Amino acid sequence: MAQYRSELTRCQAAASPVVCLEAADRTLGGKIHDYANVLALGHHFAASAADLSAARDQAQTLANSLEILGDAQPTRSNYDHVLNGFDVSSALTRLQQAVHRLDAATG
């Protein structure tokens, strides 16, 4: 997330902020998909199957949303139109909550 936030700051000064932002969204979406895949494999986490499943599902939802945003097309109105169709902030909050539950379960 720190890298993504740094990219968002950099994008504000980019020649094409929307193209920069879409690239950052796609990159973060890919990384969150990787995280979801780790959860899907289990890797012998001490957390319950329900907590693992919830975190995986939240990660997939957020990753899919970010990847769709990353393909919104390079205009601000297109990006805003796609963004208004997703509640990325809420999806991020739900993923953070799920990760905190996993963290608590694994000690």
Instruction: Band the pLDDT of 107: cuts 50, 70, 90.
Output: low
Task: Let me know: does 107 contact 46? Beta carbons within 8 Å.
Answer: yes
Q: Domain of 99? A: 2-106
* Mean local confidence (pLDDT), 77-85: 81
Q: With 90 as the cut, is the pLDDT of residue 8 above it? A: no
- Spatial distance between the Cα atoms of 74 and 62, rounded to a whole number of angstroms: 21
What's the pTM value of the predicted model, to 2 decimals?
A: 0.79
Q: What is the DSSP letter of 91?
A: H
| Count of structural domains, the chain | 1
- Which residue do the tokens 């193209």 mark? 19
Q: What is the DSSP letter of 107?
A: -
* Cα→Cα distances 35→10, 17, 56, 82, Å: 25, 27, 8, 24
